[in-house]
A and B are shown apart, each in its own frame.
Chain A
Amino acid sequence: MFRKDRSDEPIYWGLFGAGGMVVAIVLPAIIIATMGLTHSVFDTAMFANVILSPVFSLAFIGIMILCTWHALHRIYHTLHDLTIHVGTLHHIIIYGLALLISLAFIGCYLIILFKNFF
């Protein structure tokens, strides 16, 4: 995108590929769990206990961040498929949004992690 001689796609494609695998294998379980969050024995307190576990929480944000890059990479290419000419501006907005969502997850993780310890 920014270089003439070599595309930077390998970065985004790598994240997209890893994300695609996560969406296919892990996300269905998370969606099913979310649907039962209010009804299952897995109540709010237990939810909190899981989310407070640094390991579980890290795995959770890892999954979510990969899903984000996967989804936004596909949106980027689908714009092109709809014959919308994607330029530098589209690139910055779409991957910028992916970065923003990723940072939000990381920020929340750090808050949870530090509050957990202090």
Chain B
Amino acid sequence: MADKMKITVQRYRPEQDQGPWDQSFEVEYTRETSLLEALNQIKDTQEPTLSFRWSCRMAICGSCGMMVNGVPKLACKTFLRDYAGQEMRIEPLANFPIERDLVVDLSDFIEKLERIKPYIIPKKDEPQPGEQREYIQTPAQLEKYRQFSMCINCGICYAACPQYKINKEFLGPAALTLIYRYNEDSRDGGKEERMKLVNQDTGVWSCSFVGYCSECCPKGVDPASAIQLGKVESAKDYLISMFKKGE
């Protein structure tokens, strides 16, 4: 037996709308219906112009982030059964400019990801990229950053973060988490470079530990923890710089 759910979607069509407006739909759902399936059902049978991003349907591509009743979630990981007896209100991911309907402009987030160099930078005395090299890492060394490497860059933590809402210069949860992830990697030699970004007012120090990013993260990455650990690293770096000449 299929139940019915009222889903209200915030629409925005840049070529004709001045601002966002709401459109409601009724969808039938079963125990297994995800929000992403429901949206596809709406697009296929009711409103073909509805726009939203999606790809993998299994919480790994990070494309389908959106606000569900005010909470940032992955549509593929959100099930209608959990909202039985309620209504659902879907909005585009908060804190990003709305491009169209549920599609947001993530370019600020992507630019920040690029800026932090989220890849292994070889240590100076070690062979550089292109040279034959085997990187050996023990399970204990892996454990130091493993949790923080689970990020799928969905942008949900940015939608959850009030500090990013207020100040778009803030590097933000995912970028700072990835900085910590690479800095803690035993194979990496780029810490000094990345710490310059961490140490700024727009780095870890814009975070006031609201903690909602960790609450919302669909992959259990706990960005808030990575940022606090980053603060400890930055504070150490600050103390060292006080005793170093020429800084």
Judge A-B direct contact (beta carbons within 8 Å): yes
Chain B residues whose CB sits within 8 angstroms of the CB of A6 once the complex forms: 199-200, 238, 241
* Segment of B111-119, B173-181, B182-190, B201-209 in the binding face: B201-209
B208:A7 contact, CB within 8 angstroms: no
Size category of the B interface is: 10 to 19
- Does B95 touch A at the CB level, under 8 Å? no
A13, CB-defined interface residue at 8 Å: yes
Of B166, B196, B208, B235, the contact of A10 (CB 8 Å cutoff): B235
Least CB distance from B199 to A in Å reads 5
CB distance from A8 to the nearest CB of B (A): 8
Query: Given A5-B196, A6-B241, A14-B235: A81 and B166 within 8 A (CB)?
Result: yes
Q: A83 touches which one: B166, B200, B238 (CB < 8 A)?
A: B166
Q: Is B234 an interface residue (CB 8 A)?
A: yes
Asked if B89 is at the interface of the complex by the 8 Å CB criterion, the answer is no
Chain B residue at smallest Cβ distance from A9: B205
Cβ-defined contact, B208 with A81, below 8 A = yes
Chain B CB count within 10 A is highest, among A10, A11, A80, for: A10
Report the count of interface residues on A (CB-CB < 8 A): 13
Query: Which residues from A are CB-within-8-Å of B205?
Result: 7, 9, 13
CB distance from A27 to the nearest CB of B (A): 20
Most B CB contacts (10 A, CB to CB) among A6, A77, A81 go to A6
Tell whether, in the assembled complex, residue B203 and residue A7 are in contact, meaning their CB atoms are under 8 Å apart.
yes
A76-90 Cβ-contact flags toward B at 8 Å (1 or 0): 010011010000000
Closest beta carbon of chain A to B234's beta carbon, Å = 6
Q: Which of B232-247 contact A (CB under 8 A)?
A: 234-235, 238-239, 241
A77: chain B residues at CB < 8 Å are 208
- Are the C-beta atoms of A13 and B199 separated by less than 8 Å? no
B231 touches A81 (CB 8 A): no
Choose among B162, B235, B238 the residue that contacts A81 (Cβ–Cβ < 8 A). Answer: B162
Q: What is the CB-to-nearest-CB distance from B237 to chain A, in angstroms, rounded to a whole number?
A: 8
- If A5-B196, A81-B166, A83-B166 touch, does A10 touch B239 (CB 8 Å cutoff)? yes
Which B residue sits closest to A74, measured CB to CB? B208
CA distance A1 to B234 in the complex (A): 15
Q: How far is the CA of A13 from the CA of B234 in the complex (A)?
A: 11
Binding site for A on B (CB under 8 A): 162, 166-167, 196, 199-201, 203, 205, 208, 231, 234-235, 238-239, 241
Give the interface of A toward B (CB within 8 A): 1, 5-7, 9-11, 13-14, 77, 80-81, 83
Can you report 19 A-B residue pairs in the complex whose CB atoms are below 8 A from each other? Answer: A1-B201, A5-B200, A6-B238, A6-B241, A7-B199, A7-B203, A9-B201, A10-B231, A10-B234, A10-B235, A13-B205, A14-B235, A77-B208, A80-B166, A80-B167, A80-B208, A81-B162, A81-B166, A83-B166
**Can you list the 3 inter-chain pairs with the closest CB atoms, starting with the nearest?**
A9-B205, A10-B238, A10-B235
Known A1-B201, A13-B235; further 4 A-B contacts with Cβ < 8 A: A7-B199, A7-B234, A9-B201, A80-B208
